[in-house]
Chains A and B, each alone.
Chain A
Amino acid sequence: QVQLVQSGAEVKKPGASVKVSCKASGYTFTDYYMHWVRQAPGQGLEWMGWINPNSGATNYAQKFQGRVTMTRDTSINTAYMEMSSLTSDDTAVYYCARGGGSYAYWGQGTLVTVSS
């Protein structure tokens, strides 16, 4: 069965960077884009971007360009989302979701807390 397993919660100071991983199993990793979505506490869902695991090509929401980098390691079927220059506004749960149109499969989410 398809599974997306994300790395654990992180606490970071303002100005730091964070890297969240998403390990895929149960399907051919390179056949589907991986998307990232975040959700601030008590807020809605916000689309961040995607990576094509086959080519490494990426597409980021304009809001995150220059601050987010999505990468992948096909040898271990894992996608990564790295965000730099964190502020308290980046405190959120970060989800990976398998693309291919709608998101039928989601990771469990990774809480990133930015606090001094």
Chain B
Amino acid sequence: EIVLTQSPGTLSLSPGERATLSCRASQSVSSSYLVWYQQKPGQAPRLLIYGTSSRATGIPDRFSGSGSGTDFTLTISRLEPEDFAVYYCQQYGSSPPYTFGGGTKVEIK
């Protein structure tokens, strides 16, 4: 089973600042199968990024993803008030389980 470790656990930033979230895998993950979700309280997760760097429909371009192998990054270039939420990475390789990282909470400083 591939374990995904997200860091930091909590990121305290102000609107307008840049957020950099890390997702590290215990073994290599195909770039095609690394995704990022955003979740707000009381809501289902929302797909942000698929295939490491492709934005899902309707996702603003301040969100970007990068990485390869075991190290992946989600960057929010300038935080908007609606971006304060929890972010999860997930891998869905050739075989299950399709594991999630533990999440990074982006909170208002």
A residues with a Cβ closer than 8 A to B are 35, 37, 44-47, 49-50, 59, 61-62, 95, 101-104, 106-109
Q: Quick one: which of A44, A62, A106 contacts B88, CB cutoff 8 A?
A: A44
Q: Is the CB of B96 within 8 A of A95?
A: no
Q: Is the CB of B97 within 8 A of A47?
A: yes
Instruction: Kindly state the separation between the CA atoms of A50 and B51 in the bound complex, as whole angstroms.
Output: 20
User: A61: which B residues are within 8 A, CB to CB?
Assistant: 96-97
Taking chain B's interface residues, is the majority helix, strand, or loop, or is none over half, making it mixed?
Answer: loop
Given A95-B44, A103-B37: A47 in contact with B88 (beta carbons within 8 A)? no
B35 at the interface (CB under 8 A from A): yes
Instruction: Kindly state the separation between the CA atoms of A25 and B15 in the bound complex, as whole angstroms.
Output: 38
Q: Quick one: which of A44, A49, A101, A108 contacts B100, CB cutoff 8 A?
A: A44
User: B50: which A residues are within 8 A, CB to CB?
Assistant: 101-102
Instruction: Kindly state the separation between the CA atoms of A81 and B101 in the bound complex, as whole angstroms.
Output: 23
Interface size for B (C-beta < 8 A) is 24
Within 8 A of A (CB), among B32-52: 33, 35, 37, 39, 44-47, 50-51
Given A44-B101, A44-B103, A103-B37: A50 in contact with B44 (beta carbons within 8 A)? no
- Using CB atoms, name the residue of chain A closest to B92: A101
Instruction: Kindly state the separation between the CA atoms of A67 and B90 in the bound complex, as whole angstroms.
Output: 24
Instruction: Kindly state the separation between the CA atoms of A102 and B56 in the bound complex, as whole angstroms.
Output: 10
User: B44: which A residues are within 8 A, CB to CB?
Assistant: 95, 106-109
Best-surrounded residue of A44, A50, A59, A104 (most CB of chain B within 10 A): A44
Q: Quick one: which of B92, B97, B102 contacts A102, CB cutoff 8 A?
A: B92
Instruction: Kindly state the separation between the CA atoms of A59 and B98 in the bound complex, as whole angstroms.
Output: 11
User: B37: which A residues are within 8 A, CB to CB?
Assistant: 45, 103
